[in-house]
Amino acid sequence: MELLGFLARHFPWVPRVFPWAPQIFDGLLMLFALLITPRRFIVQERLWSQILDITGVSETSHRFGGREAVLQGRELCHIHGNGVLDFILPKDVDIPDALLSHIYPHHVYPDSRWRTVVVSKSIDGEAVMTLLDAIREQRSLQRSLADTDAICDAV
């Protein structure tokens, strides 16, 4: 996690000069995770598969390396090759108790609503899925309220 933050803070120009560099670096992180910590890598891949099974979620590459889960045209979360899962935590969403010890401030933007979960063998995948589902529901609610406001404004 510290390595990603260090690279983002000290080498922010690399993705602009070499657009493929973040993806190559992330591929190396995945290979390293597979070879060094295969059990954690399997947990990471299973969790990512469950995230992609959420209704309406599609996958794309993340601009700073990794894979991004997109819901309703917006990023739901992204995961780096070393198992760092990042997401925006809305104010109205509660963190499941099983995840409290696994959630950290974001490795690049610690003062934002971005949060990080480091996927490990001990992570509660169900709690992660519960949290992401709550975020998805919050977004759906916000979107439906925005649609209602637009309809009311049009009348």
What is the average pLDDT score of the chain? 85
Distance in angstroms (rounded) separating the CA atoms of residues 21 and 121: 29
Residue 57 in contact with residue 69, Cβ under 8 Å? yes
| pLDDT recorded at residue 16 | 84
Choosing among 2.60.40, 3.40.50, 2.60.120, 3.90.1150, the CATH entry for 2-154 is 3.90.1150
Q: Give this prediction's pTM.
A: 0.82
Does residue 138 surpass a pLDDT of 80?
A: yes
Instruction: Name the residue among 42, 54, 59 with its Cα closest to residue 130.
Output: 54
